[in-house]
Amino acid sequence: MKNTILLAACAALLATSPALAHGPHEHGAARLNVAVDGTTVSIDLESPLANALPFEHTPSTPAQREAVQNMAATLHRADKIFILSVAAQCRLKKVTLQSAALPADLLSVGTSQQPAKLEYADHAGHAAEDAHADLDASFIFECAKPDALNGMDVALFSSWPALHELRVQILSPTGQHAAELNAKAHTLKW
Ligand SMILES: [Zn+2]
């Protein structure tokens, strides 16, 4: 009973502290977890917002909101970022974007036509100007010929020039692999 309570307390603490929950918050670096399970490829990207945007706080101007929407639009076209072996015939099925500093409606698809809203005051408390914030993105691909899947090119560095190092863990039918990618070496093989 005591252990349960302690665990719950820790979980609550971690949930309010992204840096603790997700490992170190280091500008220029991000983590990528790739899991291949049958026909499904799950990709989780965890990055300081600073790698994707010029700020890490809740957007407060139309230009900042537009920057968030542009970033989200790029990630929603994840089949242009995570280029899986062509012969495996993989299709992007789902994209989920989350950040404590960013309103969810700016991160979903097709929000750019909506008029800018002015009701973000309640989000401002989450991220002061000098606070840090992360982006958590997850992507699901389904592959028709998973046997032909043996690698992935990551085209994120051209969209995110502030990103210099991507630390990758891969769990695939051939085992567990680790890799570090950068703007010059961005292809994974497994
Ligand atoms: Zn930061």
Say if CB 27 and CB 50 are below 8 A apart: yes
Query: Which neighbouring-strand residues pair with 135?
Result: 47
pLDDT > 90? residue 28: yes
CA angle 24, 27, 33 (to 5 degrees): 60
CA of 159 to the centre of ligand 1 (A): 18
CA of 184 to the centre of ligand 1 (A): 24
CA angle 143, 81, 83 (to 5 degrees): 40
What's the domain count of the chain? 1
CA of 133 to the centre of ligand 1 (A): 6
CA of 50 to the centre of ligand 1 (A): 6
Q: How confident is the model at residue 121 (pLDDT cuts 50, 70, 90)?
A: very low
User: Residue with structure tokens 């957007």?
Assistant: 59
Q: Count how many residues are written for the chain.
A: 190
**81 in a structural domain:** yes
**1 in a structural domain:** no
Q: Which domain holds residue 104?
A: 25-189
What mean pLDDT do residues 162-185 have? 96
**2 in a structural domain:** no
What mean pLDDT do residues 151-165 have? 97
Retrieve residue 10's tokens.
Answer: 């820790």
CA of 101 to the centre of ligand 1 (A): 11
Taking all residues of the chain, what is their mean pLDDT, rounded to a whole number?
A: 85
**18 in a structural domain:** no
